[in-house]
């Protein structure tokens, strides 16, 4: 299994990161991508991930957009040659929390898409409650040859159709899939089928059932994989092979 979106460099893992990574490998997690949330956090991700040979995405989260300097893209660009860096993100729009002004979120999103376009790296998108504006920006900035994922996808079947059908994006499926109240998401995932789905934890957040409420960690991706296989009527081995293949294509692993 590949955990395509974690924050294993987060300080919540500082006390026991060796054990967390060991448990992930014991559970069959063959690759992890730890995701930066601003320039400093991306630098920290690179430094912490390197000895574990964990891959890294560097980017500016919409929550942090208000703090991004005018040189932020140059600062991100300077990180792209660092060991393990394979993607740009996470970047996007979050109108649920609105921690940054929407104009700032949009501006930082556009510059990161343009950077990815220029350097040919995939993009990790964070999207919440901003579907129309997010698609409007993609229609202007996205190009057919680009690769990307809408991480922690929790939307409707219609949104899944747009992300996959119009933009050829992958959908990152995490612990929310296992939550009792996520029937809409489960329907969307069944309709989408396995062709564009990848697994993720978003740890330390959003632990899947039966670990809900605990600190999430990459080994828990197995619970989401089990639920996804059950929903899609696939044997675990087949589900894992399919989502691994998608992740390898998406991130060129
Ligand atoms: Zn996110
Ligand atoms: Zn994240």
Q: How far is the CA of 85 from the centre of ligand 1 (A)?
A: 18
Residue 202 Cα, ligand 2 centroid: separation in angstroms?
5
What mean pLDDT, rounded, does the chain reach?
A: 97
- The whole-number pLDDT of residue 212 equals 95
Instruction: Tell me the ligand closest to 63's alpha carbon.
Output: 1
With CA atoms as reference, report the closest residue to 104 among 65, 69, 134: 65
Mean pLDDT of 69-76: 92
Give the per-residue pLDDT at 236.
Answer: 97
Q: Is 63 exposed, middle or buried (0-12, 13-18, 19+ CB in 10 A)?
A: middle
Q: Cα(90) to centroid of ligand 1, in Å?
A: 6
Which domains does the chain carry?
A: 2-251 (3.20.20.140)
CA of residue 9 to ligand 1 center, whole Å? 15
Say which ligand is closest to the CA of 201: 2
Closest of 190, 192, 166, 178 to residue 220, by C-alpha: 178
Beta strands 2-6; 148-151: pairing state: unpaired
Q: What is the pLDDT of residue 9?
A: 98
Q: What is the mean pLDDT of residues 87-114?
A: 98
Could you say which ligand is closest to the alpha carbon of residue 35? 2
Ligand 2 center from residue 236 Cα (angstroms): 25
Instruction: State the pLDDT confidence band at 140, using cuts at 50, 70 and 90.
Output: very high
The pLDDT confidence band at residue 160, using thresholds 50, 70 and 90, is very high
Residue position matching structure tokens 């930066």 = 36
Q: How far is CA 242 from CA 41, 86, 228, in A?
A: 31, 21, 11
Q: How confident is the model at residue 81 (pLDDT cuts 50, 70, 90)?
A: very high
Ligand 2 midpoint to CA 5 (Å): 6
Cα–Cα distance between 86 and 78 in angstroms, integer?
13
**Cα atoms in the 13 Å half-sphere on the side-chain side of 47:** 9
Give the CB-side neighbour count of residue 222, counting CA atoms within 13 A.
Answer: 12
Mean pLDDT of the 105-121 span: 98
Distance 56 CA to ligand 2 centre (A): 12
Q: Which residues contact 155 (CB under 8 A, 6 or more apart)?
A: 127, 131, 163, 185, 188
């Amino acid at each position: 299994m590949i955990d395509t979106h974690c924050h294993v460099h987060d300080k919540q893992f500082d006390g026991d990161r060796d054990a967390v990574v060991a448990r992930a490998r014991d559970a069959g997690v063959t690759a992890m991508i730890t995701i930066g949330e601003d320039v400093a956090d991306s630098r920290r991700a690179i430094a912490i991930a390197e000895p574990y040979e964990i891959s890294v995405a560097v980017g500016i989260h919409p929550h942090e957009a208000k703090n991004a300097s005018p040189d932020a893209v140059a600062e991100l660009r300077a990180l792209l040659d660092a060991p393990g860096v394979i993607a740009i993100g996470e970047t996007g729009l979050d109108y649920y929390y609105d921690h940054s002004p929407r104009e700032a979120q949009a501006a930082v999103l556009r510059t990161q898409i343009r950077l990815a376009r220029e350097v040919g790296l995939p993009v990790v998108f964070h999207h919440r409650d901003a579907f129309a504006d997010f698609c409007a920006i993609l229609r202007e900035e996205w190009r057919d040859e680009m690769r990307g994922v809408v991480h922690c996808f929790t939307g409707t079947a219609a949104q899944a159709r747009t992300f996959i059908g119009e933009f050829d994006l992958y959908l990152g499926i995490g612990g929310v899939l296992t939550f009792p109240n996520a029937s809409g998401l489960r329907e969307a995932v069944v309709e989408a089928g396995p062709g564009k789905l990848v697994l993720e934890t978003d740890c330390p957040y959003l632990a899947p059932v039966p670990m809900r409420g605990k600190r999430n960690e990459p080994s828990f991706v197995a619970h989401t994989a089990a639920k996804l296989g059950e929903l899609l009527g696939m044997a675990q081995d087949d589900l894992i092979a399919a989502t691994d293949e998608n992740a390898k294509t998406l991130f060129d692993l």
